[in-house]
Amino acid sequence: MAFVNEDNITELALRRWGTAHSPRLAQLMTALVRHIHEFAREVELTDDEWLAAIEWLTATGQLSDEKRQEFILASDVIGLSMLVVQLNNRFSPTATPATVLGPFHIDGSPPVPFGHDMSDGLPGKPLFITGKVTDTGGKPMPSAVLDVWQADSDGYYESQIAEIDEARLRAKYQTREDGTYCIRTVAPLGYSIPMDGPVGDLIKKTDISHFRPAHVHFLIDEPGHHKLITHLFQDGVEYLDTDVVFGTKDALVVEFVERPAGPTPDGGQLDQPYLHATYDFVLEPTTD
């Protein structure tokens, strides 16, 4: 066994971690060792900086539980979450692009009919989102389920409000025979990511904007197609260019058109002005 010095330590660690029983684990661990040793060498990491990093990671873990995932937030703000999304969702250019899931999705949202108001009377400007779900060949997809969730018109999800313990502003809409859907809600506001933890502490030492632009989340998981996790962003709002989690994409920015009081896209009537966004979701078929 060779004794350790600055020059051979990386090679020794690579040999050790190369013994992982699964070839994939060996690949992951040796690449991690290579890159992290290279990082320490490049910045000449000091003892104090190494300890500060360990303390930051410890605090990040200690704040994480089933309600709050500070580690995922850390991954989001350094662009790692979005990079993993890109690597795993290489759809054709005509398919709707994917973006980050985020921490606020909940399983089991209620199925609701075409045009149902998922805001359930919450304050805010009424918003209709209508369009179709098709495959990349333009074939409409009947009975496709759009799992939808969003922040409220002040930029909060229910889990961020102490007095609220019921799910809200989330629902599952099903497309009709011709692939069309109609969502009614209130326009969400952009919001800050949680800034009261180690991720916030780090961001406060930079000029990074800690906001996300106003958006509505969608998850569409249909057999024979890649699961689509995405958002629609409101065109013209703040933070589109600086989304703290790198989630914005051109193809997902849509106009929320101002409409006067009167007929609505679900065939009803509203006695106040409202917003209307149209978007056709295009799913990428799986090859296997």
State the residues that interact with ligand BEZ by CB under 6 A: 73, 76, 100, 102-104, 193, 212, 245
Q: What is the dihedral of CA 154, 156, 162, 167, to 10 degrees?
A: 120
Which one of 94-102, 109-117, 120-128, 265-273 is the stretch in contact with Fe ion (CB under 5 A)? 94-102
CA distance linking residue 78 with residue 86, whole number of Å: 14
Q: Which does 229 bind (CB under 5 to 8 A by kind): Fe ion, ligand BEZ, none?
A: none
SS3 of residue 126 by DSSP: strand
Looking at beta carbons, which residue is closest to Fe ion?
A: 102
Is 63 within 8 Å of 198 (Cβ atoms)? Answer: yes
Instruction: Report in angstroms the alpha-carbon separations of 142 from 135, 176, 257.
Output: 11, 5, 26
CA distance linking residue 78 with residue 246, whole number of Å: 9
Is 240 within 8 Å of 233 (Cβ atoms)? Answer: yes
Helix then strand then coil, in percent of the chain rounded to 5, is 25, 25, 50
Least Cβ distance, residue 159 to Fe ion (angstroms) = 12
183, β-bridge pairs: 129
Q: Which does 100 bind (CB under 5 to 8 A by kind): ligand BEZ, Fe ion, none?
A: ligand BEZ
CA distance linking residue 28 with residue 72, whole number of Å: 19
| Cβ within 8 Å of residue 8, ≥6 positions away | 2
Q: Which does 103 bind (CB under 5 to 8 A by kind): Fe ion, ligand BEZ, none?
A: ligand BEZ
Q: What is the dihedral of CA 62, 83, 24, 220, to 10 degrees?
A: 90
Q: Which does 193 bind (CB under 5 to 8 A by kind): ligand BEZ, Fe ion, none?
A: ligand BEZ
Considering the complex, state which of residue 116 and residue 212 has its C-beta at the smaller distance from Fe ion: 212
Least Cβ distance, residue 275 to ligand BEZ (angstroms) = 19
Least Cβ distance, residue 210 to ligand BEZ (angstroms) = 10
- Which of the residues 97 through 126 are near Fe ion (CB under 5 A)? 102
Considering the complex, state which of residue 13 and residue 169 has its C-beta at the smaller distance from ligand BEZ: 169
Considering the complex, state which of residue 84 and residue 257 has its C-beta at the smaller distance from ligand BEZ: 84
Q: Which does 76 bind (CB under 5 to 8 A by kind): Fe ion, ligand BEZ, none?
A: ligand BEZ
Least Cβ distance, residue 73 to ligand BEZ (angstroms) = 6
Q: Which does 245 bind (CB under 5 to 8 A by kind): Fe ion, ligand BEZ, none?
A: ligand BEZ
Least Cβ distance, residue 184 to ligand BEZ (angstroms) = 21
Considering the complex, state which of residue 25 and residue 161 has its C-beta at the smaller distance from ligand BEZ: 161
Is residue 70 within a helix (H) or strand (E), and if so which, with residue range?
Answer: helix 70-77
Is 135 within 8 Å of 282 (Cβ atoms)? Answer: yes
Considering the complex, state which of residue 200 and residue 285 has its C-beta at the smaller distance from Fe ion: 200
Residues that bind Fe ion (CB under 5 A): 102
